[in-house]
Copies of this chain bind each other. A is one copy, B any other.
Amino acid sequence: MAATIRDIKRMTGLSLATVSKYLNGGNVLPENKAAIEHAIEVLHYEVNEVARGLATNRTKTIGVLIQRLDNLFSSTIISKIEDILRGHGYGTIICDCKGEEKLEEESIRFLLSKRVDGIITLPTATSSGYLERALVRDIPVVLIDRVFEDKEWDSIQVDNEEGGKMAVQKLIENGHTKIAIVCGDEQYYTAKKRLKGYFDALEEADLPVYSKYIKRGPLETSHGFQSVVELMEMEDPPTAVFLSNYEITLGAMLAINERDIQVPEDLSVVGFDNMLLAQVVKPKLWMVVQPMEEIAREAAELMLRKLDGGTEEGQITKVVLHTSLTEGASIKKIGKLT
């Protein structure tokens, strides 16, 4: 049995209150301080955060609810969030809902039963219903990457529209006019925005939109794979494609390898979010990247602020960060000048 505050009381002859005060950084006489520290040392005492949590009604743990842990976007962000939170004494309970809305809702209940002090979530669902319970309990919630249209939430996101536009503009600059996009379907907020960027770029350049070049579907590897195959089998295939998400980019590259599609000779490519892939594949890929560490930092810090009451009741903070375009060798210059 681990030592308790009572053991310290006994050993030092002080009262529980004094010991507790010391533990919480209050002022105690130097001699008492020394006595307590000695006792802690000898007894290997360590605060029982569970008991403390019950007494204070704050567990110093944050729930992180994520779509999937097994992609680099998520794991990089979580890793950083965990880092910052732990630096402030917070533990991180992770729930991977594997992209299933049902699990997502269950996870919220789970986290609430664990009495987390706050929830950071990278949502799977398209509406915020599953977060109601947290709201009712008055637990701070911070959204990452996606937002909901049915309600305002504190959130950290990037300008996806801008990201999509940048990618397509780069392709246009290089003389491409037949530009495809592989994109998530309607339900995804981010997909919608990235597609909007695609349209905007084309429109601003007075280029026509070919609906046959727009491939929407689930945010999965298979969709990226399948779309590229289909695009390249067309009679009039596109000369370039914007792969608008992590999994899609991955799937597309698998297809490109398997079908022996030459990049950029047969097809110019701009991917999204998959820096590892960008570097490891030959030729290097042009890639739209999100500032993952910054997203994580903003999310963690916003959460900490909300927990400290450093934020007005009812005030919504929406942080929008910017993507950047990293250079590769996956775009062929055709016709025109730069």
CB of A211 within 8 A of chain B?
no
CB of A273 within 8 A of chain B?
no
Main secondary structure of the interface of A (DSSP, over half): helix
| Chain A interface residue bracket vs B | 35 or more
Stretch of A33-41, A110-118, A147-155, A193-201 lying at the B interface: A110-118
Contact partner, A61, options B51, B98, B114, B282, Cβ 8 Å: B114
CB of A86 within 8 A of chain B?
yes
Is A82 touching B95 in the complex (CB atoms < 8 A)?
yes
Task: For the complex, give the distance between the alpha carbons of A136 and B282 in Å.
Answer: 52
Is A93 touching B93 in the complex (CB atoms < 8 A)?
yes
Residues of B within 8 A of A78 (CB): 69, 94
Task: For the complex, give the distance between the alpha carbons of A111 and B93 in Å.
Answer: 11
Q: Mark A49-90, 1 if CB is under 8 A from B, else 0.
A: 111011000010100000011111011101100110010000
CB of A91 within 8 A of chain B?
yes
Is A82 touching B70 in the complex (CB atoms < 8 A)?
no
CB of A121 within 8 A of chain B?
no
Is B250 touching A113 in the complex (CB atoms < 8 A)?
no
Residue of B nearest to A280 (CB): B253
Copies of this chain in the oligomer = 2
Is B91 touching A92 in the complex (CB atoms < 8 A)?
no
Contact partner, A53, options B50, B83, B257, Cβ 8 Å: B50
Is A91 touching B68 in the complex (CB atoms < 8 A)?
no
CB of A322 within 8 A of chain B?
no
Residues of B within 8 A of A70 (CB): 72, 75-76, 79
Is B110 touching A82 in the complex (CB atoms < 8 A)?
no
Residues of B within 8 A of A91 (CB): 93, 110-111, 114
Residues of B within 8 A of A133 (CB): 44
Is B68 touching A79 in the complex (CB atoms < 8 A)?
yes
Residues of B within 8 A of A76 (CB): 70
Closest Cβ of chain B to A208, distance in Å, is 33
Is A46 touching B112 in the complex (CB atoms < 8 A)?
yes
Is A96 touching B79 in the complex (CB atoms < 8 A)?
yes
Closest Cβ of chain B to A226, distance in Å, is 16
Contact partner, A280, options B110, B137, B257, Cβ 8 Å: B257
Is B2 touching A280 in the complex (CB atoms < 8 A)?
no
7 tightest A-B contacts by CB? A69-B79, A75-B75, A50-B53, A50-B115, A91-B93, A69-B75, A49-B113
